[in-house]
Structure 1
Amino acid sequence: MVLNAAAPAVELDEPSPPRPTFATAWVFLLAALCGTFLAVPTLRYDFFGDELYFIAAGAHRSLTYADQGVLIPLVAHLADTVAPGSAPMLRLPAVLMTAAAVVISAAVAYELGGSRTAQLVAAAAYGISPLAATQAVQLSTFSFDATLQAALIWLLIRWIRTRDDRLLIAVGVVAAIDLQVKWFIPTILLCLAAGVIAAGPRELLWRRGLWIGAAIFAASALPGLWWQNQHGWPALAMSKVIGAEQDAAGGGPLACLPQMIGLTGLLGGLLAAWALWSLARERWLRPYLFMLVASGLLVAVVLFGHGRPYYTAGFLPVLFGIGAVALPYYRGERFNRVLRVIALPVIGLSLVIITALVAALPQSSSRVHSEIRTQADFAMRTSIYGSSGWSDLTAKVADAYRRLPESERPKAIIAQNYWQAAAIQNFGRDYGLPPVYSPNRGFGYFGPPPSDIGAVLYVGLDSTEPTLERQFGSVRALDQLNVRNGFPGVNTDIAIWICRGPMHPWPDLWPDMMDLHLPLGI
């Protein structure tokens, strides 16, 4: 294989046929159907812990956050304002972003000259993949990041075909938006840049539009960089914490690669594999060879960096589009043979798999008959049954608070972990509970209780009491919460104390209490 940066935008051994039109109506109909279908589980899952945190974070305005950008908390805040307490409304933006990724898959196929059939196959591959089901089921940084990454790469592919430098400025704008979602986009850009340097088209690196886009991206990063610098760069520490959590819950790098492959689904996996194979060997795809290099680099970064398997998700709509177009390679008989032999069975089986997933999940919590003992157990339980226990936790805290004489009721609640804090803050509105604070993860950077608050209601693992006794002059247990086969750190192994007389002023005590790890007691 020869890497040739000077290769033309499209180079064939035979005359290319007229460019097909974009199957606009069919693609958008397919995206709408997939989005509607994948939205069904959003009606059944209880809130995930991070979703509650996003709502809480949206109520605390900031230039950025310790663990993410500003966009998802803002979206969560707006959704909760429109429909307070509605999980489906909160997840609607995730469903829309998933549908957009379906359209991008088709758009990539169109840019490469794919027929309407190829466009629809690419779109369907994403729409019926486990990845899409994961993306749509909850509001998350991943639900936006995957689609924005795919849009960015689609713009690059379109630039290769058209050489319209306005597209490179748009790349910078999309990257700037994605940076407000999560901070993984610089890694994506570095992988793409390495791919272009190695495989071309290197002409891209000298285009004025690219540098205008880079300036837009750099300017968008300044507020977040300033905030991180002011707060000791928690984002860097968070990457290590997430890596450790991924190893504990997902089995480490050796297990991550099969999980990546599994997210593509049957149809998508075959298309992605065919895309990578075709990029390596087909001359007409040489202008897009950077995708092969960038994909390999990204997989290596995720595996060696102990990242999550969905970190590669933004490349998949693009690979699905490339694979769908590369199947026929403008040779009708070859395509017809492949289509007749495997296409319909593969699409049919893929539909069966995704339908079974959507219909079966989440399972009823009444079918849970075992305790959660490890991080892997926790991840499996959440995937199959969803999260639960928020109402148990909030009701127990409210009961303990109300049983105190009115004159002794503290003016603040501290929760040990950020999920607890977010749940009590969101659901505690119905109980008239005081403001909630937590030293855990991003919640800790919202700040400590006011200096004049001496007594607090503390909610945490029942093993936390010795630590509290070193931090407060008086610690008295009020209640416990232990739901059989419940969620550790949510409605199992939970204790509630009233703590008086902090040993140091809150601004001095708070930094020692702050912790980026999620304490679940497992």
Structure 2
Amino acid sequence: MGESRPLHAFATLPAASVCAAVAALLTALSGRYGYHRDELYFLVAADHPDWGYVDQPPLTPLIAKASSTVFGDSPAGLRVAGTLACVLLVLLVTAVARELGGDRRAQTLAAVCAATSTFVLAVGHMVSTATYDLVAWLAISWLFLRLLRSREPRWWVAVGAAVGVGVQNKYLVAMLVAALLIGLVVAGPRALLRSPWLGVGVAVAVLIAWPNLWWQEQNGWPQLTVAGGIVADDGTENRVLFVPQQLLFLSPLYVPVCVAGWLRLWRGPEVGWARAVAWAYPLLCLQVIGTGGKPYYALPLLLVLLAAGCVPALGWLGRGARRVRRGLFAGAVALTVAVSLAVALPVLPPGALGPIAAINPEQGEQVGWPELADAVAAGWQLVPAGERASSVVFAQNYGQAGALARYGPARGLPAPYSGHMSFADWGPPPDSATGRVLLLRQRGSGGGTGRYFRGCRQVGRVDNGEHLDNEEQGAAVLLCSGTTEPWSRLWPRLRHFY
């Protein structure tokens, strides 16, 4: 196993320049389209602070609330936090390249490749659990590399702290921990596993994560139910799309750099101390495929391989026919930028999003929420004024409910109710709400929810005005005369996780 060499100076100015360019781009586009359904949900969740929610830990809603409070209650204000996370992510990828022996040129290349990849820009544009999950995974990977390179076991404490914070955002970090630890068992140096500092790191991780873990235990581990539903609904599709989506979300043109990075970690004598990470990537892929998880779960380690591959990539660029090679690589970066901008960021008119939404549905989920609230408000006007105090607006999913919570008050709508995800914990309506029910039905859901309401008739339909076929386009607005049973008895049956 090769010994590590002294680190090169950090490429401060080039990395800062890349970060400034990314921040400027994301800031300029942050107010286009509108909120994403998850962002609307996070904002409502933040108004119900708790140590956990049925589908996520509390960190992302807290960050969403803080960003909106400090920078403005708007999509642009909310997304400042996502922009800062993206900047931090680029710096971490740069630091990983440096940790693996990259000089200023290799670090700069790593920063450019990370900043132009589709997934990094996509999660930097929106506030999502994936935004901070990606940062947490890269921070853990960087700290783990420091641990391996220095063989200083006290780095376990920092690794544990990063893991604890990561768990407060998303439990997926457990997959990374498992892959890295197994890689360390296989490739060494195993002496690090015998250090008492590992126990200290585990204790720190558990201490930081404990409030949410306690909340989940007290509530019957609902997040496992949510995860099981995702696998049941999408597991087969996720397995089929695992390789294509990884290539697309990173960039197909960066794949040779990632392959070179993996080979370097696997057999390069100068980074032999990091071979555990070469083992970790296929181990992580096996976990994701085996559990039917989303393909992007493995992307953080792919970014580590990308950073590792920048040294051999520069070596390739410096060999024969350098002008041709550099031209090809510059063209690959330019093409990646063009594709990433179209797929990840709101650069196209909303009406032209159809083909893009087929690749990245999250783009389409930022369009049409005010129009949805308009359709519901028109239906609410059909409720007699004298009955409105005892009537209820019921949305079938958290995106609808979040949109109505955001845009409904300005349109004279009452606070919405929903049985979806944590909205079920913030209900039910009082049993005294015996009036009418304005039901916003999810498109393609059939009449499942409708059987709990009486005398329903369709009074409207959602139209985003852009002819964009997103999840809510064409959703039906129904006006019902009431419920079949009191709300308290119906609520357990109205609750759903997917």
Normalising by structure 1, we get a TM-score of 0.86
Residue 406 of structure 1 is aligned with which of 370, 379, 385? 385
Residue range with higher mean Cα deviation, 479-488 or 303-312: 479-488
Contact 1:52 1:426 in 2 (8 A): yes
User: What is the 5 A alignment of 1:132-211?
Assistant: 132-211=120-199
Whether the aligned pair in 2 keeps the contact of 1:54 and 1:72 (CA below 8 Å) is yes
- The question of whether the paired residues in 2 share the 8 Å contact of 1:468 and 1:475 is answered with no
Taking structure 2 as the reference length, the TM-score comes to 0.89
Instruction: Please state how far the C-alpha of 1:34 moved relative to its aligned partner.
Output: 2.5
Q: Equivalent pairs: percent with the same residue?
A: 28
Residue identity in the other structure for 2:249: L
Q: CA deviation at 1:297?
A: 0.9
Report the Cα offset of residue 513 of structure 1: 1.0
Given the alignment, which residue of 359, 369, 375 partners 1:390? Answer: 369
| CA distance in structure 1 between the partners assigned to 2:378 and 2:384 by the alignment | 12
Aligned equivalent of 1:442: 422
Q: Which residue of 2 is the match for residue 75 of structure 1?
A: 63
Is residue 22 of structure 1 aligned with residue 10 of structure 2? Answer: yes
Letter in 1 for 2:248: G
> Using a 3 Å threshold, how does the CA distance of structure 1 residues 449 and 112 change in structure 2: closer, same or farther?
same
The alpha-carbon deviation at position 41 of structure 1 amounts to: 3.9
Equivalent AA in structure 2 for residue 510 of structure 1: W
| Letter of the 2:472 counterpart | V
Match among 276, 284, 295 for residue 281 of structure 2: 295
Aligned Cα RMSD in Å?
2.9
Q: Unaligned regions of 5+ residues in structure 1, if any?
A: 1-6, 11-15, 371-376, 518-522
For residues 381 and 107 of structure 1, the distance between their equivalents in structure 2, rounded to whole angstroms, comes to: 29
The one-letter amino acid paired with 1:269 is: V
Cα–Cα, structure 1 residues 45 and 350, in superposed 2: closer, same or farther, change >3 Å?
Answer: farther
Distance verdict in 2 for CA 1:277–1:222, change over 3 Å: same
Equivalent residue, structure 1, for 2:25: 37
Q: One-letter code of the match for 2:477?
A: A
Q: Distance in 2 between matches of 1:406 and 1:210?
A: 65
Deviation of 1:194 (Å): 0.6
CA distance in 2, matches of 1:334, 1:80: 45
User: Could you say what secondary structure the match of 2:432 adopts?
Assistant: coil
Q: Which residue of 1 aligns with 2:492?
A: 511
Aligned 8 A contact 2:38 2:128 in 1: yes
State whether structure 2 residue 290 is matched by structure 1 residue 304. Answer: yes
User: Hey, what does 1:113 align to over in structure 2?
Assistant: 101
- Return the match for 1:365 from 336, 350, 359: 350
AA paired with 2:479? W
Aligned length: 492
- More displaced, 234-243 or 196-205? 234-243
Return the alpha-carbon distance in structure 2 between the equivalents of residues 449 and 227 of structure 1.
24
Please tell me the residue identity of whatever aligns with 2:308: I
Shift >6 Å, 4+ stretches: 462-465
Correspondence list, 1:204-223, <5 A: 204-223=192-211
Q: Decide which of 91, 96, 114 is 1:126's aligned counterpart.
A: 114
Secondary structure in structure 2 of the residue aligned to 1:258: helix
Cα distance change on mapping 1:143 and 1:339 into 2, 3 Å: farther
In the superposition, relative to structure 1, how do residues 363 and 334 fare at CA in structure 2: closer, same or farther (>3 Å)? closer
Partner SS state of residue 120, structure 2: helix
Measured after TM superposition, the shift of residue 184 of structure 1 is 0.4
For 2:475, the equivalent position in structure 1 comes to: 493
Q: Distance in 2 between matches of 1:240 and 1:482?
A: 30
In the alignment, what sits opposite 1:89? 77
**1:280 Cα deviation after fit:** 2.1
CA–CA separation in structure 2 for the residues paired with 1:477 and 1:266? 49
Deviation of the 1:340 alpha carbon: 5.1
Contact in 2 for aligned 1:400/1:478 (Cα 8 Å):
no
Q: Displacement of 1:282 after TM fit?
A: 1.7
Residue 411 of structure 1, CA deviation: 5.0
